[in-house]
Chain A
């Protein structure tokens, strides 16, 4: 009971810290952008607007990255474990998924999700609309199309990482768990996955960092993320050098923060229960 209370308190503190940290961080970005644009002699009256736009673009980028990473993690888990299944009904679809996604450009996947998916889903959606679901154009906005494409994309790369991580766990762990009467699912859930996590965290985080940068491709479907906001600003100011430097710097800051976070996470995972 005491333990539970402690966990709830710690979680609440962590959530509060993340929320506060998020606002402080982006307020800091916006302040830095203002200073930078003033220092580089942009029209002073427009600077607050520019800084605000780039900041909101950066926020879209980070939010998209976070939700796509989480979804992609689950997709990767399912596909990665399915690829190891003895049952072809699980193994083949997972293999097909990884093969198609890793073998085609992300740009094409993003365009497909935004432009082609509405056509494909049309028959089903007609039926759903009759049940009161809003039309597909209102649901599959650039943001959610990008979310689908990025999640599915990173999921395929995660699947390969997770498969390798599971295969890295010694056979003796399976044997010990099975000799205690655990079902294959229980062995996965309680023994293999918790250990594999420690092995797969660094490469999975690499995938997240790649995803953060790749989310810029969503600018082609008019998503107002960081790059697209930057391009708009350039079309107004005709100053690509300063703007692209600002855009690149924000990406660099975001990836650096992510790297610090994952270094910490890695240490934390190693601390909790030494890896065998």
Chain B
């Protein structure tokens, strides 16, 4: 059974039809990269999976749980971690507090356990030495690695990444991608919206190309990048690969 099932998902922003009959299955442990021009609906797509964006038609099952029912939303959000383009760390908390807060108050872990696991995760994204600092004291790349650790602290089954490197200075992109690659290798189910084609080639099991709210084409990275079938995919790739 797929861990994410999207069936005929439709979403409108007012009159704008932003997701058109999306059908998508993601298997456990799969790494799916979503590419496409801006405004194609790719961010909206992954934001529907943890109900940050409500859908108007269709059905989404996450780990078998139907998220269209409001009472299920909190349950699903505990299982789905999310990393944002603009990090969205909590600026009034230290790095350690950022990572340990949700496990403490949502999972109801005692502080020691939450902080111990938070430290292990900070170790894992190679930023444990900054645990007592505030987000504003860190570089963008460091902040995004903290954001990854924060999402992982809830021990999610799925991780969503919404353009995680787009707001970073070029020299910091690598460190964030490295953390994501390590996560992919550990067997995490990941949905990643990104323009990093190198990352997609290296770790993605599948690449999805979206345009105008539709899934135009999908397949293994080599196939999509080297031998795109669809005209719109070709022209998009021609524009981003120099």
Interface positions of A (Cβ within 8 A of B) = 170, 172-173, 175-183, 186, 190-191, 194-195, 198, 272-276
Q: Which residue of B lies closest to A194 (CB)?
A: B92
Q: Which residues of B lie under 8 Å from residue A186 when comparing CB positions?
A: 105-106
Contact indicator B88/A175 (Cβ below 8 Å):
yes
Q: Which of A177, A178, A181, A182 has the most CB of B within 10 A?
A: A181
- What does the 1/0 interface line of B141-162 toward A look like (CB < 8 Å)? 0000001001100100000000
Contact indicator B134/A180 (Cβ below 8 Å):
no
Contact of A180 among B91, B136, B151 (CB under 8 A): B151
Contact indicator B92/A195 (Cβ below 8 Å):
yes
Q: Which residues of A lie under 8 Å from residue B81 when comparing CB positions?
A: 179-180
Contact indicator A176/B106 (Cβ below 8 Å):
no
Q: Which residue of A lies closest to B98 (CB)?
A: A176
Contact indicator B134/A274 (Cβ below 8 Å):
yes
Contact indicator B93/A182 (Cβ below 8 Å):
no
Within the complex, what minimum Cβ distance (angstroms) separates B184 from chain A? Answer: 20
CA distance A180 to B153 in the complex (A): 9
With A190-B101, A274-B134, A274-B136 known to touch, is A181 a contact of B88 (CB < 8 Å)? Answer: no
Interface positions of B (Cβ within 8 A of A) = 50, 52, 74, 77-78, 80-82, 84, 86, 88-94, 101-102, 105-106, 134-137, 147, 150-151, 154
Within the complex, what minimum Cβ distance (angstroms) separates B160 from chain A? Answer: 8
CA distance A228 to B40 in the complex (A): 70
CA distance A186 to B84 in the complex (A): 20
Contact of B90 among A173, A181, A198, A272 (CB under 8 A): A173
Contact indicator A276/B135 (Cβ below 8 Å):
yes
CA distance A121 to B52 in the complex (A): 48
Contact indicator B154/A181 (Cβ below 8 Å):
yes
Q: Which residues of B lie under 8 Å from residue A178 when comparing CB positions?
A: 52, 77
CA distance A119 to B180 in the complex (A): 69
CA distance A198 to B147 in the complex (A): 23
Contact indicator A183/B74 (Cβ below 8 Å):
yes
CA distance A218 to B105 in the complex (A): 45
Within the complex, what minimum Cβ distance (angstroms) separates A192 from chain B? Answer: 10
CA distance A147 to B124 in the complex (A): 55
Contact indicator A190/B88 (Cβ below 8 Å):
no
With A274-B137, A276-B135 known to touch, is A180 a contact of B150 (CB < 8 Å)? Answer: yes
CA distance A252 to B237 in the complex (A): 69
Q: Which residues of A lie under 8 Å from residue B86 when comparing CB positions?
A: 172
CA distance A182 to B101 in the complex (A): 10
Within the complex, what minimum Cβ distance (angstroms) separates A168 from chain B? Answer: 13
CA distance A272 to B74 in the complex (A): 31
A-B interface, 4 closest residue pairs, ranked by CB to CB distance from nearest:
A276-B91, A176-B88, A274-B136, A180-B102
With A181-B78, A191-B90 known to touch, is A176 a contact of B84 (CB < 8 Å)? Answer: yes
Within the complex, what minimum Cβ distance (angstroms) separates A264 from chain B? Answer: 19
Q: Which residue of A lies closest to B78 (CB)?
A: A181
CA distance A179 to B151 in the complex (A): 8
Q: Which residues of B lie under 8 Å from residue A190 when comparing CB positions?
A: 90, 101, 105
CA distance A175 to B77 in the complex (A): 11
Q: Which residue of B lies closest to A171 (CB)?
A: B88
CA distance A272 to B78 in the complex (A): 30
Contact indicator A172/B92 (Cβ below 8 Å):
no
CA distance A227 to B137 in the complex (A): 50
Q: Which residue of A lies closest to B75 (CB)?
A: A181
CA distance A276 to B134 in the complex (A): 10
Contact indicator B90/A180 (Cβ below 8 Å):
no
Q: Which residues of B lie under 8 Å from residue A176 when comparing CB positions?
A: 82, 84, 88-90, 147, 150
CA distance A190 to B101 in the complex (A): 9
Q: Which residues of A lie under 8 Å from residue B105 when comparing CB positions?
A: 182, 186, 190
